[in-house]
Amino acid sequence: SWGNGHATLWRGLIRALGGLGWSVTFFERNTPYYAGARDLDHLDGGNVVLYPDWEDIRHVAEQAIGESDVVIVTSYCPDAVE
């Protein structure tokens, strides 16, 4: 959660959703700023997708979105507009 003031809230939400049987897929651009202190590389009952370039995983994200009941885009997600 280093460098990310929202991490605690997201982890609580993900844990609660998992407890209700939901699966969460979390996409994060693999930037040096976060990579050096990353402390979450897997989710119980879900997936973490770290990517260097949006185009490399765009099809994975589109498939995940197509299969989802809910999609949340956060404030720091420069690839979301694509």
43 falls within a domain:
yes
pLDDT band at 82 (very low <50, low <70, confident <90, very high): low
48 falls within a domain:
yes
Q: Which SS3 state, helix, strand or coil, does residue 67 take? A: coil
72 falls within a domain:
no
31 falls within a domain:
yes
Per-residue pLDDT tens digits for 23-80: 999 888 888 877 777 777 777 778 889 999 999 999 999 999 999 999 888 777 778 7
23 falls within a domain:
yes
* Cβ proximity of 2 and 8 under 8 Å: no
77 falls within a domain:
no
How many structural domains are present in the chain? 1
34 falls within a domain:
yes
Range of the domain at 54: 7-66
Per-residue pLDDT tens digits for 7-25: 778 888 888 998 999 999 9
73 falls within a domain:
no
